[in-house]
Amino acid sequence: MKETKKLKRTALVLGGITGILLLIYLFNTIRMVKFWGLYDLEPDFFGGLTVSGGVSYVVYNVIIIATLTITLTMFISIWRGETPFKRGIVNRLRIIALLLVVFEIYWFISERVHPLRFYMGEDYSIVIRTPLHGYVLVAGLTVFCISLILQFGITLQTQVDETL
């Protein structure tokens, strides 16, 4: 019983943190779309900011918002005391894994198309490109592996239920 309370309390804290992050990303995305309007975008002080760069930023945020929303629903289900051996949890984990992999690939391609550029003078600029580290890709594959383990647990639970 004590472990269940500890698990629920942890899910509540992590769900709260996830909810705050979700609100921050929602606010930033709404502010970005409202401020830029995603049309008639002029280059800013640092230069090189275009409509497609703004769209890329919004796409990043949408992927992150989707991932945080699904994660928040999983924390809520843990807080309610639902079993993790349900097909819905496995499907949520697989969607999160897919979103993480898509995010990493999209980030890598977008960095090549829209690198971070700082103008240091009239004819001199610094271009910063981050390499593909693969941390988010590995996290996505790990989450997919966890979903396979839970799927196997569902299969074993079904077999035990049929045996009894």
Q: What pLDDT tens digit does each residue of the chain (164 aa) get?
A: 777 888 889 999 999 999 999 999 998 888 777 665 544 444 444 444 455 566 777 888 899 999 999 999 999 998 898 887 889 889 999 999 999 999 988 888 877 777 666 667 777 767 666 677 788 899 999 999 999 999 999 999 888 888 87
Give the CA distances from residue 113 to residues 58, 121, 127, 133, 134, in Å, rounded to whole numbers and listed in that order: 15, 22, 12, 17, 18
| pTM exceeds cut of 0.75 | yes
* Residue 87 vs residues 2, 90, 109, 161: alpha-carbon distances, Å: 27, 5, 33, 16
